[in-house]
Structure 1
Amino acid sequence: MLTDPVATAGLVVREVRTGSRDGVPTRLVVARRRYRTDRADLWQAVTDPERIPRWFLPVTGDLHEGGRYQLQGNAGGVVERCAAPESFAVTWEMGPMVSWVTVSLAEADGGTDLELVHEAPVDPTMWDTYGPGAVGVGWDLGLMGLGLHVDTGAPVDPDEGLAFATTPEGHAFVGAAARDWADAAVADGDDPAAARAAAAQTAAFYTGTSAD
């Protein structure tokens, strides 16, 4: 699927922030990547229900402001804001857990910059175990699929996509991404040793290997 998985992982710039929402402490994972296409095309790729499954997951519902959506086998939520072709914001609901995702697109030299921000209430046990990579690596895999689709115009094979993290190339990609998320967490104030241990646990979770 990838000729250089570590370089592909390096296409994403990662940041972790500490925040709060309605008085509740939150952590934000921020992923930025430039895509070699214009903003109109990238906007369609990330908002068109016919095109989203070509790189991510099948989606149903009303993908307009105020509507509800559901990703097959994954999160659902409400489209809180939609300002085409610049940005949209949705709730990200899985069972009782609610978090928030914002995607923004900006024109750039040679393409379009995408910024994804995922903000979630702090679960100390989950954060201590996996760090930002728990959600960050999942988004990395999605953004990788988006890049493959945008570059080729072809859909990503869903079976290959599901199996990718368990392949040698997937191990390299996930490991590099998890380490970068650890570095971002350290830059936000996390303990370096704890962040590296969490990155190893994240990589093991996604690849089905041991963290040792």
Structure 2
Amino acid sequence: MIDIIDAIKRARREVGENGETKTVVISRRYDAAVEDVWDACTAPERISRWFLPVSGDFRVGGHYQLEGNAGGEILRCEPPSLLKVTWVMGDAPGLSEVEVRLTPEGEESTLFELRHVATAPPEMWSRYGPGAVGIGWDLTVLGLGLHLAGGSIDDPGAWQASEEARRFMTASGEAWGEAHREAGESPETVAAMVGNTLGFYLPA
């Protein structure tokens, strides 16, 4: 059983906009050494245990592919603190990059920060806002946290259809809405975006 409220509150979220270029940032502290968090984020055999199976040429300039998800080029890799990749779903045009920064805060504590910068089609952003990708990143941060603590979700597919997962994604969507309001978006627009996003992730 996951403490939904605790998992959501542990993460900090930010939203930035510069024309069609949008930025979502999620950060969280993990009770693990920076080397362990780095290994969990970069070793293919560990990534498959908390995220998705990954294949590719794991070097700067090489390409990776997450099974059934995004792929792209490895732009920077500076152990144990910085990983930057392009993040492409299918043939989607435009900028899309993900940067992960790890900062040690003592021997057994690490600040994890993930920044996703992308060109968002205006019609998509105006309908869904940051929660469209933010909920997925919340699920990613949750999975990494469980893995680092020695746990896991036994059947991710079944879990995502569970009432617990619905509560988690609802809380995540609302948290991204709050971050968007703090960035200056109107409450009415945010409420519509959150409703549309949750309707997509959690159809009746």
**TM-score in same-fold range (> 0.5):** yes
1:29-85 deviation digits (Å, cap 9, x = unpaired): 000011110000000000000110100000000121111000000010000011110
* Percent pairwise identity: 43
The alpha-carbon deviation at position 185 of structure 1 amounts to: 1.2
The alpha-carbon deviation at position 162 of structure 1 amounts to: 2.5
Which residue pairs with 2:102 in the alignment?
105
Which residue pairs with 1:133 in the alignment?
131
1:27 paired to 2:25? no
- Pick aligned residue for 2:194 from 185, 188, 199: 199
Q: Distance in 2 between matches of 1:79 and 1:156?
A: 28
> Bigger CA drift: 26-35 or 162-171?
162-171
Q: Distance in 1 between matches of 2:63 and 2:81?
A: 20
In structure 1, stretches of 5+ residues that fail to align are none
Q: Secondary structure at the match of 1:94?
A: coil
- Higher-strand-fraction structure: 1
* Dislocated runs of 4+, deviation >6 Å: none
The alpha-carbon deviation at position 148 of structure 1 amounts to: 0.7
Q: Secondary structure at the match of 2:18?
A: strand
Q: Please say if residues 16 and 132 of structure 1, whose CA atoms lie closer than 8 Å, have aligned partners that are also in contact.
A: yes
Q: Please say if residues 165 and 207 of structure 1, whose CA atoms lie closer than 8 Å, have aligned partners that are also in contact.
A: no
Q: Please say if residues 165 and 174 of structure 1, whose CA atoms lie closer than 8 Å, have aligned partners that are also in contact.
A: no
Q: Secondary structure at the match of 2:10?
A: coil
The alpha-carbon deviation at position 183 of structure 1 amounts to: 1.2
- Pick aligned residue for 2:67 from 55, 69, 72: 72
Q: How do 1:49-64 residues align onto structure 2 when only pairs under 5 Å count?
A: 49-64=44-59
> Bigger CA drift: 8-17 or 94-103?
94-103
The size of the alignment, in residue pairs, is: 201
Residue 190 of structure 1 aligns to which amino acid in structure 2? E
Q: Distance in 1 between matches of 2:126 and 2:18?
A: 17
1:188 paired to 2:186? no
Q: Distance in 2 between matches of 1:165 and 1:199?
A: 19
Which residue pairs with 1:7 in the alignment?
6
Distance 1:165 1:10, change over 3 A: farther
The alpha-carbon deviation at position 167 of structure 1 amounts to: 1.7
Q: Distance in 2 between matches of 1:42 and 1:176?
A: 25
Residue 17 of structure 1 aligns to which amino acid in structure 2? G
Normalised by the length of structure 1, the TM-score is 0.89
Which residue pairs with 1:38 in the alignment?
33
In structure 2, stretches of 5+ residues that fail to align are none
The alpha-carbon deviation at position 187 of structure 1 amounts to: 1.8
